[in-house]
Amino acid sequence: MKPSNPLASLVPPTEADADEVDYYRQRLHDPSLLEQAVGVELEGYVFLAVPVGGRRQGGDLSVPEVLTGVAVRRLLIGRCGFPDVRLSWSPYEDACHSVRWGAPPPAEDTCVADGWHYGYSDRAIASVVETYGHFADPRSALLGTADRGRVADCSLFTGLPSRATIG
């Protein structure tokens, strides 16, 4: 019998919302990475965790609480395409935390640097730069968080180091 995890669980990526899948399919340089993606169910919603590969050097998934992040980290550790899985939490009580895998996000906080890091196509990056500017809030713009109701990874924009990293 598979142990249940009330904080997070892996589900087939086909259970993710169609908008979530379409979002990545339209923006990834290599959409075939979606074939190795996993669904992570958090609080009744399925998010996609897209593996590294090709241009995509790293990935992350925002989580509402540290304990949920620990649970997600445990689910992803050892999975192909998810190297160096770690939890970074925000120094702010009202901000989200991140489970990250692969290379750390780039020190240069621009749409282009983040777009390349997360494996987005040249067209997707150019669209964000044209719409929001080169130094726009890159993760909010690239992820369309305002449109999808998904909480952005606040620690990427503060310019401050995360309080701690587990992993």
User: What pLDDT is recorded for position 95?
Assistant: 78
User: What pLDDT is recorded for position 133?
Assistant: 72
Write the secondary structure of 109-130 as one string of H (helix), E (strand) and C (coil).
CCHHHHHHHCCECHHHHHHHHH
133-150 pLDDT per residue, tens? 765 554 454 444 433 333
- State the pTM of this model: 0.76
User: What pLDDT is recorded for position 154?
Assistant: 32
95-137 pLDDT per residue, tens? 789 999 999 989 887 888 999 999 999 999 998 888 877 655 5
